[in-house]
Copies of this chain bind each other. A is one copy, B any other.
Amino acid sequence: MPPSFNLRVTERSKVKRVPKRAAYDRATVDAILDSGLLCHVGYVIDGTPYVTATCYWRHGDRVYWHGSAASRMLRTVTSGVPVCFSVSHLDGLVMARSGFHHSVNYRGVTLFGEAVMIEDPAEKLATLKDFTDRLTPGRWEELRETTDQELKGTTICALTIDEGSAKVRTGGPLDDAPDYDLNIWAGVVPITTVVGEPVADDRLKPGIPEPDYLRRISIGAPPRG
């Protein structure tokens, strides 16, 4: 069942520049989140902004990211402070007839809130399986099991998809009316993320076949149509 609610629009989450590109519905937001792997997390320490790039995954109404229990970023963002979570996909260069109207096609989501730490070991394991399943369904069951010590050394945090926005630009250049008569090339140069041919580890045991799921990984896929 698709999520039935929209993102909460607040003073900080409302898109102010080019509001016609904004979206707040969960279908749009989730599609953007589910296309990505890398997010940028913003947080504040002693008045200084920090932005950390890290992998994330969505499950239900939350986004998750993780790392070492020694990570300053994870210690900070799970301490009840406000965080800003950003995911952006670059889809194309929009070449207009003036420099001013050049643009890019993109899909982005920004979320605000306070992240929480996942503490329960069983929930942590289930969440790590979700992450593995997001990219490579079937792999979790093949892997060497996670040890208690590894689980203890891993901090996982979650942010509820609640307050935020999506912003999307698609289509060609929008030039000033007189500029369409100029002898200048205009159009879009598409940008895509491509998942390449798997490269086996030098120490791979002989006879281990390449799993089928490696050929089905999708990251940054552009919107259909």
Report yes or no: A204 in contact with B187, Cβ–Cβ below 8 A.
yes
| A120 interface residue per 8 A CB criterion | no
In the complex, which residues of chain B have a beta carbon less than 8 angstroms from the beta carbon of A209? 185
Report yes or no: B12 in contact with A48, Cβ–Cβ below 8 A.
yes
Which of B86, B128, B219 is close to A51, meaning CB atoms less than 8 Å apart? B86
Report yes or no: A17 in contact with B71, Cβ–Cβ below 8 A.
yes
State how many angstroms separate the Cβ of A219 from the closest Cβ of chain B. Answer: 6
In the complex, which residues of chain B have a beta carbon less than 8 angstroms from the beta carbon of A52? 86
Which of B48, B50, B150, B191 is close to A196, meaning CB atoms less than 8 Å apart? B191
Tell which of A1-9, A57-65, A103-111 binds the partner.
Answer: A103-111
Report yes or no: A184 in contact with B208, Cβ–Cβ below 8 A.
yes
Most chain B beta carbons < 10 A, residue from A172, A203, A209? A203
Known contacts A55-B104, A146-B100, A83 near B49 by CB under 8 Å: yes
Report yes or no: A197 in contact with B190, Cβ–Cβ below 8 A.
yes
In the complex, which residues of chain B have a beta carbon less than 8 angstroms from the beta carbon of A122? none
Report yes or no: A144 in contact with B98, Cβ–Cβ below 8 A.
yes
In the complex, which residues of chain B have a beta carbon less than 8 angstroms from the beta carbon of A128? 99
Report yes or no: A193 in contact with B195, Cβ–Cβ below 8 A.
no
Report yes or no: B211 in contact with A185, Cβ–Cβ below 8 A.
yes
For the complex, give the distance between the alpha carbons of A105 and B112 in Å.
27
| A44 interface residue per 8 A CB criterion | yes
State how many angstroms separate the Cβ of A161 from the closest Cβ of chain B. Answer: 16
Report yes or no: B193 in contact with A191, Cβ–Cβ below 8 A.
yes
Known contacts A184-B142, A208-B184, A84 near B51 by CB under 8 Å: yes
Q: Spell out A's residues near B (CB within 8 Å).
A: 12, 16-17, 37-38, 40-45, 47-53, 55, 67-68, 70-72, 82-86, 88, 90, 93, 95, 97-100, 102, 104, 106, 108, 110, 112, 128, 132, 135-136, 139-140, 142-147, 150, 154, 172-173, 179-205, 208-211, 214, 217, 219
Q: Told that A40-B51, A99-B150, A144-B184 touch, could you supply 6 new A-B pairs with CB distance under 8 A?
A: A49-B82, A53-B106, A95-B136, A173-B201, A183-B205, A191-B219
